[in-house]
Structure 1
Amino acid sequence: MRLNDYKKFVILGNGEYPTSSIPLSILYNAEHVICCDGAAENYVSNGMLPYKIIGDCDSLSKNFKNLYKNIIIQVTDQETNDLTKSVKYLLDSGITEFNIVGATGKREDHTLGNISLIMDYMNMGANVRMYTDYGVFIPCHGTCTFSTNPKQQLSIINFDAKRIYSKDLKYPLSDFTKWWQGTLNETLYDTVTIEAEGDYLVYINY
């Protein structure tokens, strides 16, 4: 996959800190990094300074909170997680384009929750992608086109889309209803167009 998806704003989640070159490049080329609560300590230990630290702050030490109190935005709402609080902060500030890294790993339930949430973020008006150490998740609505490499691994997770179709993949698509049914496909060309009516999630392996 040919990536040059640098955004001015990046959210660093409190999952496993990125180790692969692509999410690290996305992270370190951002002008402003918002850290979700406990992710801030990892980010600072790597010699960086967050733009904002957002969350309920239950994962931060007292000393760390004192040192960085001027950039901490504490949101005590327990109905949303720290990733969503960070996304809402950006959207409320009029910022709709951003990437997310470090939002997977550690607890599998948190990983599944964060991955599914980017569909909500898209429907809230965000142009967002989630980068992991292995690939990128892209929330989609309707017909979407991606730059890829031939024989690149690609999966589609359907949410409510109908009439899903592409001539650019090795295996034919259908209106699958279970998440696993659209996984482990393969690209044929250097671009892929997926046609659909509704919402679906694309995962492209690096």
Structure 2
Amino acid sequence: MKSGDRRRLLVSSAAAALSATAVGLGAATAAAPLRAALGGGLGDSPARSDLSRWPRELWITRPEAQESVRAVYWADGALQPEGCRAIDRIYRDLRAGVERPISTGLLNLNYVMQCAVAQCWSARPMVLLSGFRTPQTNRQVGGVEPSVHFTGKADDYIYAGLSFQDNLRLAWLFRVGGLGVYPDRGSLHKDVGRARIWVQHGRAASSGPDPGLRLGAGR
């Protein structure tokens, strides 16, 4: 099997195994569906480990702030305050200097996607372009209101080193709530709000179940 085909198979299998509870508050674990899909690639078999206690670490960089963090936000069956604070900090509204707790559902979604990236390509950080926003900042950047960025349930991001098409395939397979595609910026939006999809070129946006997305071969 070719490397590209293997990657697509692994990501597709992982996405198929991802359930809604994997990114919900109080979910048993985000590692379980990915572990099942990848044949135990994340450690011991489910029969020999308590998956709800499996540590979950996120690796995030924020170029605009020249910051990077690797933080364990979940371990021993509970959220880890120190790790959560580090993630809340890097997700802060940089213009307003304000931070708020980031949704556990979004953290779990990021964790599952990060595991898929590490398995199918190599371990690398998520490049965070926008996280929590105050209403004032949202207006300044031309965001839609009300925005899920207000509640810490959304981010704009990209995985550096992956083509935009591979980033888009990954986002499409793991979509849970909103998926926004910004080809001109080379970035994506994801959230754990209501399900919706849109593509924006400049200031013009189209939306719908599949608003002109092209997920075939390409860069």
State the TM-score, normalizing by the size of structure 1.
Answer: 0.32
Q: Which has the higher strand share?
A: 1
Higher relative contact order (CA 8 A, sep 6+): 1
State the TM-score, normalizing by the size of structure 2.
Answer: 0.30
